[in-house]
């Protein structure tokens, strides 16, 4: 079946089987391998992307369900050479080690900050508890997202 | 962990859904709403539906409608749909509070209320809500529409009164009196995990005494249910820590946990019942 | 040794690794694809123990797109996977074949493999392979009597023993004997990226390639070449980005060998990506041990002797490490305390569960839990504070280096340097122990179940003997450091760049670090057992010193200045006494040193050098954990409110990265202490094959880690003075949480096993009738 995905602003027409997950299609058919598979059953959050303005687990959506939808992945976060404030903050706060969970955390946090730029620390902790990281112990991820929130709130 | 093949349909009307279900009910057919429980079981190939009906393109199912006497929750109302507080004050507040205990944000953005009821996991928060409050489930098939009372709906672990050709189009929750108080408590190993035990209570306070007490328990037995013995104990009592402790103890005597760790679950029942009551009392 | 931080050395610099990773441009195993590749899917045993009667592949083979299906007979020519440190005759029969021969020994044991043109299709076909197994009774506990593994061989593969002194006499003269029965649950690393292996055969060059390698590519190349009867130079391993290692990834598993054999036979690339269900049943488990430990102490609480009997649950086969964890458990157990007489005997037993091997701090997480429980128990028995009993038994600074008559990783333990008591005092002062005790006492008096835990430990790091690095400066001035190290996400590239930058005098951002590639350097030590920084950084320093020397020699000629009056900074050779004077860049020097350069003179071509670092001994960092934990009596939940980790690192090249290692390690250690456990039913069916059943900590489960990083005892074993850090945060996490929880309960001796589950806590609370005992830390 032919479907069309708008991925980071680019239209991709791809041929899929109904059972192909959105993650597999984004990675294998569209070539955006920045979205990672960590569990394929919706727990770890490594495949978190933004579909029509909602942060979702791409392993729990079939690609065919995303036909005609607008999708944002990690590859669309930076503007050319300029990193998104969240990406900057992750580097600054050593919020990644192996980097495998990082795209999922970045997309999760991007969505949270876009939805509520004034999100409280407690709400952030709740949101960020959605995804698993095995390297960092999370504190630096939290610090990075808090920092990015504050930076984005007060344009300099 | 790739799903087995299936035939995919994306109908745009309930009529189309029930027609498809009538046609394929013998061959293994499943409704795909949020997919947050179904898709993992398909990835593990524990579920291999030959036909999958994606209802996400049907308009109008994503509404919570206030009919005055009852709230009607459509088949595509997501868990997150309860966060936006457009509902009657106290009922809305408790449903929003409960929704926050369901998994995590990205799951809540997709998973649906009705899907949880159709899946009927013993630990489901929404199943506890339906069992505790007065709920009616609206099931449509090519044979017609029927209403199932929540008391008759649950049959066992992930087993319900829904027939293979029936589509759960909405759930109605009777609107409680405006002065009804609610309390909820659940315990899970980590935030967002399935509850090991959960309790939801509602009551009114008339002259300082509890009236119309409803107390439900989930996560412990095959499916959530009200505990009539505990409700009777509480009815007409003045809320106090001592009464709540007695309620917890009585609840523990009247449950038959289906999990292996029976002793532990029974102790948890005490705690969640007591704390749900405390929670309700704190909202006065 | 200069203890002052340099321009790069000792600075919390941002990582060079991060740019591609935050942009989604990393290249992990699943991101690697080659044209015309096949996908491999493993058919695994559904039974814990059984005899294979037949395997019917006909239905699967009939699916369009399926290219081949193999069973054991198809790979009968491939020997079992050997031990990395060389064959041990006695253990050889317990090695794993790449496909099960005759018997299956755990749920997940590979029995067949399917090769197909698509990953979905390969899984469809694997489902259609019918494996008929006659089920045998599984052996599921190392505590149970050993059974027959194969004719004439018992499941107790060996007994590992270490000891010294007169233990019997120690117990005879004891004022008190304290005995504990302790166990550690089965859990493991579980990196976020599952394993993956892509085999590719380049017939044009007769080179066989394994992509998706990690941890020890060079050592694995030797083993794989031997298994496949190839020369090592015709087999190359490539490490891309690695989504977490933690000890489990990068060992040789059946799948690594299978993709290589298949790539050769089909002359097509073969890709295998493990799924999460497989990972939880196929990738090494770890930790499961049962200890029965006794201590003889005198009236002052001084240890006279320790006797320990251990049952080690190895799972179904003995994998690449042989008995390393067992040996480490027995060898490291006494330290940091002085134990005059010691004997440990470990029953190394096979069971019908996933094979076990190393996971971050192998043997130490276990031993630290056991020893520190013992110290707490001694304190209670003698009415001493937990601090005091430790203080009295610590090895003293003036006794360093302390030669211990025990072995770790095949060498005698020599504790190189340290002031254990000094770190304990610093640690207590930093957390304001007196005030904290008062606060806890007040909360206890208020009815709260809250308690403090203390645990001390000695780590080991930097096992040699030798590692090398090669540095080349190109004519643009870019420096390439080629190492045989490995990067598993710990910041390896940044650390090597910092060492090179400081030594050579270039900006660290001008340095490219190569790792994990056997085609770029002949030898390499990899990244395991916290050795990368110690070994490879020192080798990098040696190479950088040589390059620096050569650059200065050439520059001295050109600038007509003696070498000792020149310095290098930001890649420019200049005269510090005359900063505005003549100078020359390293790039220009490299240009002059090209083979065809008319200006080369008599110099050997290239601004490059190879450096080697040798060491006789490991280094022994150490630390102190203090935790504050609370129990919810209603649910049995344990909440770790505070954790402080004091750690002696010798010297930190990048303190930010060291702290990152400690924080991340602690989160994993907390998982093993409270949440993570592979459970099995009585037929040996694994019960934790999803992330809803194998519970890893989330952000809400891990408290902020307060870190006290000390550089008071630089190692005399290497010029940089560094000790490793990779395993420090996890090492005593189980020990300290157990100590805090027991204090919170106020019931001495009740915490005897990990993980501490809410269920266990409620059981303890229900059964407890004794009076709570005040245990001051």
Please tell me whether residues B202 and B102 are part of one structural domain: no
Chains in contact with B, counting 3 or more C-beta pairs less than 8 Å apart as contact: A, C
Stretch among B99-103, C5-9, C42-46 having the lowest mean pLDDT: C5-9
Of A16, A50, A76, the position where a domain reaches its end is A76
Residues of A in contact with B100 (CB under 8 A): 126
Of A48, A76, A104, the position where a domain reaches its end is A76
What CATH number did the domain enclosing A44 receive? 3.10.20.30
Architecture of domain C18-26+463-614: 2-Layer Sandwich (3.30)
Under a CB-based contact definition with an 8 Å cutoff, are residues B153 and B160 in contact? yes
Cβ of C22 within 8 Å of Cβ of A37? The answer is no
Residues of C in contact with B190 (CB under 8 A): 675, 695, 697-698, 700-701
Q: Does A33 touch chain C (CB under 8 A)?
A: yes
Q: Does B6 touch chain A (CB under 8 A)?
A: yes
Please report whether residue B2 resides in a domain.
no
**Residue positions counted in chain C:** 777
Please tell me whether residues B154 and B78 are part of one structural domain: yes
ipTM of the complex: 0.98
Please tell me whether residues A131 and A93 are part of one structural domain: yes
Say how far apart CA C294 and CA C168 lie, in whole Å: 12
Instruction: Quickly tell me which residue has 């509602």 as its tokens.
Output: B202
Please tell me whether residues B151 and B200 are part of one structural domain: no
- Name which of C38, C110, C118 is nearest C74 in CA terms: C110
Residue C688 reports pLDDT greater than 80:
yes
Residues of B in contact with A107 (CB under 8 A): none
Under a CB-based contact definition with an 8 Å cutoff, are residues C273 and C123 in contact? no
Please tell me whether residues B170 and B229 are part of one structural domain: no
Please tell me whether residues A18 and A63 are part of one structural domain: yes
Tell me, yes or no, if the two domains C18-26+463-614 and C32-137+194-242+249-282 fold the same way. Answer: no
Please tell me whether residues A70 and A91 are part of one structural domain: no
Q: Where are the domains of chain C?
A: 18-26+463-614, 32-137+194-242+249-282, 289-462+617-767
pLDDT of residue C776: 45
Residue C775 reports pLDDT greater than 50:
no
Name the residue of chain A whose CA is nearest to C487's CA: A98
Say how far apart CA C453 and CA C372 lie, in whole Å: 10
Task: Give tens-digit pLDDT for C147-199.
Answer: 999 999 999 999 999 999 999 999 999 999 999 999 999 999 999 999 999 99
Please tell me whether residues A21 and A60 are part of one structural domain: yes
Residues of C in contact with B252 (CB under 8 A): none
Residue B276 reports pLDDT greater than 60:
yes
Please tell me whether residues B84 and B129 are part of one structural domain: yes
Average pLDDT (C488-515) is 95
Say how far apart CA C286 and CA C276 lie, in whole Å: 17
- How far is Cα of residue C233 from the mean position of the Cα atoms in its chain? 28
Please tell me whether residues A60 and A25 are part of one structural domain: yes
Under a CB-based contact definition with an 8 Å cutoff, are residues C163 and C79 in contact? no
B6–chain C nearest CA distance, Å: 12
Q: Does C17 touch chain A (CB under 8 A)?
A: yes
Domain that holds residue B211: 181-282
B266–chain C nearest CA distance, Å: 11
Please tell me whether residues B68 and B169 are part of one structural domain: yes
pLDDT of residue C465: 85
Handedness of CA C372, C376, C382, C384 (dihedral sign): positive
For an interface test with B, give the residue of A25, A43, A62 to mutate (most B CBs within 10 A).
Answer: A62
pLDDT of residue C770: 47
DSSP character string of B81-93: GGTS--S-HHHHH
Residues of C in contact with B192 (CB under 8 A): 698
What CATH number did the domain enclosing B44 receive? 3.30.43.10
Of B32, B54, B76, the position where a domain reaches its end is B54
Strands of the sheet with C270-273, listed across from one edge: C66-71, C110-116, C38-44, C270-273, C196-202, C207-211, C235-238
Of B174, B193, B223, the position where a domain reaches its end is B174
Task: Give tens-digit pLDDT for C73-129.
Answer: 999 999 999 998 767 899 999 999 999 999 999 999 999 999 999 999 999 999 999
Say how far apart CA C106 and CA A75 lie, in whole Å: 41
Question: Residue B212: which residues within 8 A CB-CB, separation 6 or more?
Answer: B177, B180, B202, B203, B204, B235
What is the domain count for chain B? Answer: 3
Residue C43 reports pLDDT greater than 50:
yes
Please tell me whether residues A72 and A95 are part of one structural domain: no
Q: Does C490 touch chain A (CB under 8 A)?
A: yes
Residue among C275, C277, C759 minimizing CB distance to B264: C759
> CA torsion C2→C5→C11→C16, rounded to 10°?
-50
Q: Does C702 touch chain B (CB under 8 A)?
A: no
Please tell me whether residues A67 and A90 are part of one structural domain: no
For an interface test with A, give the residue of C21, C667, C701 to mutate (most A CBs within 10 A).
Answer: C21
What is the domain count for chain A? Answer: 2
Average pLDDT, chain C: 95
Average pLDDT (B91-105) is 94
Cβ of A90 within 8 Å of Cβ of C18? The answer is yes
Residue among A1, A19, A130 minimizing CB distance to B3: A19
Say how far apart CA C754 and CA C670 lie, in whole Å: 10
Please tell me whether residues A69 and A95 are part of one structural domain: no
Would you place residue A155 in the very low, low, confident or very high pLDDT band (cuts 50, 70, 90)?
A: low
* Residue % of chain B over a pLDDT of 90: 92
Average pLDDT (B256-262) is 89
C213–chain A nearest CA distance, Å: 15
Residue among A40, A64, A129 minimizing CB distance to B191: A129
Of B115, B147, B174, the position where a domain reaches its end is B174
Please tell me whether residues B206 and B242 are part of one structural domain: yes
Task: Give tens-digit pLDDT for A44-72.
Answer: 999 999 999 999 999 999 999 999 999 99
Domain that holds residue A37: 2-76
Please tell me whether residues B195 and B278 are part of one structural domain: yes
A3–chain C nearest CA distance, Å: 19
Please tell me whether residues B242 and B153 are part of one structural domain: no
Q: CATH number of the domain at C289-462+617-767, please?
A: 3.30.365.10
Say how far apart CA C610 and CA B58 lie, in whole Å: 68
What CATH number did the domain enclosing A141 receive? 1.10.150.120
Question: How many C-beta atoms surround the C-beta of residue B208 within 10 A?
Answer: 9
Handedness of CA C514, C520, C523, C529 (dihedral sign): positive
pLDDT of residue C3: 56
Please tell me whether residues A63 and A99 are part of one structural domain: no
Tell me which residues of chain B have a C-beta less than 8 Å from any C-beta of chain C. Answer: 1-2, 4-5, 40, 44-45, 187, 189-194, 261, 263-264, 267-268, 270-271, 274-275
Task: Give tens-digit pLDDT for A28-47.
Answer: 999 999 999 999 999 999 99
Of A76, A100, A128, the position where a domain reaches its end is A76
Name the residue of chain B whose CA is nearest to A47's CA: B106
Task: Give tens-digit pLDDT for C135-151.
Answer: 999 999 999 999 999 99
Residue among B191, B192, B275 minimizing CB distance to C634: B275
Would you place residue C617 in the very low, low, confident or very high pLDDT band (cuts 50, 70, 90)?
A: confident
Residues of A in contact with C691 (CB under 8 A): 39, 41, 43-44, 132
Task: Give tens-digit pLDDT for C425-437.
Answer: 999 999 999 999 9
Q: Does C151 touch chain A (CB under 8 A)?
A: no
Residue among A18, A42, A54 minimizing CB distance to B36: A42
Instruction: Quickly tell me which residue has 């946990």 as its tokens.
Output: B257
For the record, the structure tokens of C240 come out as 């891309």
Residue B53 reports pLDDT greater than 50:
yes
Q: Does A136 touch chain C (CB under 8 A)?
A: yes
Under a CB-based contact definition with an 8 Å cutoff, are residues C114 and C126 in contact? yes
pLDDT of residue C330: 96
| CB-based burial label for C62 (10 Å; 0-12, 13-18, 19+) | exposed
pLDDT of residue C386: 97
Name the residue of chain B whose CA is nearest to C278's CA: B1
Say how far apart CA C139 and CA C155 lie, in whole Å: 9
Please tell me whether residues B189 and B268 are part of one structural domain: yes
Average pLDDT (C251-274) is 98
Residue among B1, B4, B105 minimizing CB distance to A127: B105
Cβ of B1 within 8 Å of Cβ of C276? The answer is yes
Q: Does C565 touch chain A (CB under 8 A)?
A: no
Please tell me whether residues B145 and B69 are part of one structural domain: yes
Please report whether residue B128 resides in a domain.
yes
Average pLDDT (A17-34) is 98
Cβ of A40 within 8 Å of Cβ of C657? The answer is no
φ and ψ of A13, to 5 deg? -100, 120
Average pLDDT (C654-661) is 96
Please report whether residue B253 resides in a domain.
yes
Under a CB-based contact definition with an 8 Å cutoff, are residues C528 and C545 in contact? no
Residue C771 reports pLDDT greater than 60:
no
Please tell me whether residues A37 and A18 are part of one structural domain: yes
Give the residue ranges of DSSP H helices in C173-252. 217-227
pLDDT of residue C407: 84
Which of C95-130 are b and which e, b meaning 16 or more Cβ less than 10 Å from the residue's Cβ? bbbbbbbebbbbbbbbbbbbbbebbbbbbbbbbbbe
Interface of C with A in 191-230 (CB under 8 A): 191-194
Chains in contact with C, counting 3 or more C-beta pairs less than 8 Å apart as contact: A, B
Please tell me whether residues B40 and B72 are part of one structural domain: no
Task: Give tens-digit pLDDT for C588-611.
Answer: 999 999 999 999 999 999 999 999
- Name which of C671, C706, C735 is nearest C359 in CA terms: C671
Residues of A in contact with B40 (CB under 8 A): 41-42, 60
Q: CATH number of the domain at C32-137+194-242+249-282, please?
A: 3.90.1170.50
Interface of A with C in 88-107 (CB under 8 A): 90-92, 94, 96-103, 106
Interface of B with A in 66-105 (CB under 8 A): 100, 104-105
Q: Determine what percent of chain B falls in helix, strand and coil, rounding each to the nearest 5.
A: 35, 25, 40
* Residue % of chain A over a pLDDT of 90: 97
């Amino acid at each position: 079946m032919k479907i069309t995905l708008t991925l980071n602003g680019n239209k991709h027409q791809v041929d899929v089987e109904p059972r192909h997950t959105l993650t597999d299609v984004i990675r294998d058919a569209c070539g955006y391998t920045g979205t990672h598979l960590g569990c394929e059953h919706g727990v770890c959050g490594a495949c978190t992307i933004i579909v029509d303005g909602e942060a979702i687990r791409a392993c729990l959506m079939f690609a065919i369900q995303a036909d005609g939808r607008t999708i944002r992945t990690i590859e669309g976060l930076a503007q050319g050479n300029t990193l998104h404030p969240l990406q900057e903050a992750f580097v600054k706060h050593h919020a990644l080690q192996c980097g495998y969970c990082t795209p999922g955390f970045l997309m999760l946090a991007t969505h949270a900050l876009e939805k509520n730029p004034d999100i409280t620390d407690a709400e952030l902790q709740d949101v960020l508890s959605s995804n698993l990281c095995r390297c960092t112990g999370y504190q630096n991820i939290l610090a990075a997202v808090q920092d990015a929130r504050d930076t984005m709130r007060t344009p300099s | 962990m790739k799903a087995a093949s299936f035939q995919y349909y994306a109908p745009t009307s309930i009529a189309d859904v029930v027609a498809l279900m009538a046609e394929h009910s013998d061959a293994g057919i499943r409704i795909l709403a949020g997919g947050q429980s179904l898709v993992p079981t398909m990835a593990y190939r524990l579920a291999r539906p030959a036909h999958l009906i994606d209802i996400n393109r049907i308009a109008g199912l994503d509404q919570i409608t206030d009919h005055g006497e009852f709230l009607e929750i459509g088949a595509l109302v997501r868990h997150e749909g309860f966060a936006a507080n457009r509902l009657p004050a106290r009922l809305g507040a408790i449903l929003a509070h409960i929704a926050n205990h369901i998994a995590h944000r990205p799951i809540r953005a997709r998973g649906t209320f009705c899907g949880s009821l159709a899946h009927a996991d013993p630990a489901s928060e929404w199943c506890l809500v339906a069992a505790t409050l007065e709920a009616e489930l609206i099931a449509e098939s090519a044979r017609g529409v029927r209403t199932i009372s929540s008391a008759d709906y649950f049959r066992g672990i992930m087993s319900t009164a829904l027939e293979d050709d029936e589509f759960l189009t909405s759930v109605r929750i009777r609107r409680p009196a405006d002065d009804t108080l609610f309390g909820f408590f659940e315990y899970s190993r980590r935030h967002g995990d399935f509850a090991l035990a959960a309790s939801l209570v509602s009551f009114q306070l008339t002259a300082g005494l509890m009236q119309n007490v409803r107390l439900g328990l989930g996560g412990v037995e095959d499916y959530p249910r009200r505990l009539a013995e505990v409700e009777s104990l509480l009815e007409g009592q003045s809320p106090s820590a001592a009464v709540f402790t007695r309620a917890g103890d009585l609840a523990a005597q009247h449950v038959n946990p289906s999990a292996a760790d029976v002793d532990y679950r029974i102790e948890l029942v005490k705690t969640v019942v007591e704390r749900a009551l405390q929670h309700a009392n704190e909202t006065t | 040794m200069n203890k002052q931080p340099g321009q790069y050395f000792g600075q919390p610099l941002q990582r060079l690794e991060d740019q591609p990773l935050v942009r989604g441009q990393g290249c992990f195993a699943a991101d690697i694809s080659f044209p015309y590749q096949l996908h491999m899917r493993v058919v695994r045993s559904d039974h814990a123990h059984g005899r294979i009667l037949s395997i019917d592949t006909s239905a699967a083979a009939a699916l369009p797109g399926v290219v081949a299906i193999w069973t054991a007979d198809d790979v009968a020519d491939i020997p079992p996977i050997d031990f990395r440190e060389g064959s041990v005759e006695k253990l050889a029969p317990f090695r794993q074949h790449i496909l099960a021969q005759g018997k299956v020994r755990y749920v997940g044991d590979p029995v067949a493999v399917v090769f197909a043109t698509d990953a979905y299709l390969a899984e469809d076909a694997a489902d259609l392979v019918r494996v008929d197994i006659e089920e045998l009774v599984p052996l599921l506990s190392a505590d149970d009597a050993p059974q027959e593994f194969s004719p004439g061989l018992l499941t107790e593969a060996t007994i590992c023993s270490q000891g010294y002194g007169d233990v019997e006499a120690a117990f005879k003269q004891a004022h008190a004997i304290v005995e504990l029965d302790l166990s550690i649950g089965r859990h493991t690393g579980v990196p976020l990226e599952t394993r993956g292996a892509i085999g590719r055969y380049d017939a044009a060059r007769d080179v066989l390639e394994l992509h998706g390698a990690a941890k020890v590519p060079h050592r694995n190349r030797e083993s794989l070449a031997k298994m496949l009867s190839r020369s090592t130079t015709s087999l190359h391993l490539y490490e891309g980005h690695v989504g977490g290692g933690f000890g489990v990834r990068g060992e040789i598993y059946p799948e690594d060998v299978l993709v290589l054999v298949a790539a050769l036979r089909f002359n097509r690339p073969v890709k295998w990506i493990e799924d999460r269900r497989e990972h939880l049943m196929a990738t090494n488990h770890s930790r499961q041990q049962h200890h029965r430990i006794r201590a003889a102490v005198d009236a002052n609480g001084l240890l006279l002797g320790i006797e320990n009997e251990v049952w080690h649950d190895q799972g179904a086969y003995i994998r690449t490490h042989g008995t390393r964890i067992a040996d480490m458990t027995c060898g490291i157990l006494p330290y940091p305390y002085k134990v005059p007489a010691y004997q440990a005997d470990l029953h190394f037993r096979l069971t019908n569960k996933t094979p076990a091997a190393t996971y971050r701090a192998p043997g130490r997480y276990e031993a630290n839990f056991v020893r520190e429980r013992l110290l707490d128990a001694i304190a209670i028995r003698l009415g001493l504070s937990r601090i005091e009993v430790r203080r009295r038994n610590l090895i003293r600074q003036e006794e360093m280096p302390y030669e211990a008559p025990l072995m770790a990783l095949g060498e005698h333990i020599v504790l190189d340097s340290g002031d254990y008591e000094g770190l304990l005092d610093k640690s207590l002062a930093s957390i304001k122990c007196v005030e904290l005790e008062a606060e806890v006492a007040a909360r206890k008096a208020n009815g709260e179940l809250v308690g403090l835990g203390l645990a001390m430990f000695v780590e080991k790091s930097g096992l040699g003997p030798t590692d090398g690095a090669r540095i080349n400066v190109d004519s643009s001035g870019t420096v390439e450091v080629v190492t045989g190290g490995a990067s598993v996400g710990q910041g390896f590239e940044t650390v090597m760049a910092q060492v090179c930058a400081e030594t050579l005098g270039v900006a660290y951002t001008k340095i490219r670090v190569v790792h994990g590639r056997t085609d770029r350097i002949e030898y390499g030590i990899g990244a395991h057992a916290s050795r990368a920084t110690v070994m490879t950084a020192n080798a990098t320093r040696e190479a950088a010193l040589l390059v620096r020397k050569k650059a200065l020699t050439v520059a001295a000629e050109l600038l007509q200045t003696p070498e000792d009056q020149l310095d290098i900074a930001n890649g420019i050779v200049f005269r510090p006494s005359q900063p505005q004077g003549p100078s020359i860049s390293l790039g220009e020097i490299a240009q002059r040193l090209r083979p065809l350069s008319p200006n080369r003179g008599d110099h050997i071509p290239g601004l490059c050098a190879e450096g080697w670092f040798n060491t006789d001994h490991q280094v022994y960092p150490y630390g102190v954990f203090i935790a504050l934990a609370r129990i919810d009596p209603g649910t049995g939940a344990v909440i770790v409110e505070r954790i402080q980790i004091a750690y002696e690192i010798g010297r930190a090249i990048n303190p930010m990265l060291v702290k990152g290692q400690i924080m991340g390690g602690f989160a994993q250690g907390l998982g093993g202490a409270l949440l993570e456990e592979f459970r099995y039913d009585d037929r040996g069916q694994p019960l934790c094959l999803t992330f809803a059943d194998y519970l890893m900590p989330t952000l809400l489960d891990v408290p902020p880690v307060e870190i006290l990083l000390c550089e008071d005892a630089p190692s005399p074993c290497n010029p940089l003075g560094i000790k490793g850090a990779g395993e420090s945060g996890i090492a005593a996490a189980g020990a300290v949480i157990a100590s805090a929880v027991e204090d919170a309960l106020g019931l001495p001796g009740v915490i005897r096993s990990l993980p501490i589950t809410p269920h266990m806590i409620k059981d303890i609370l229900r059964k407890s009738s004794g009076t709570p005992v005040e245990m001051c830390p």
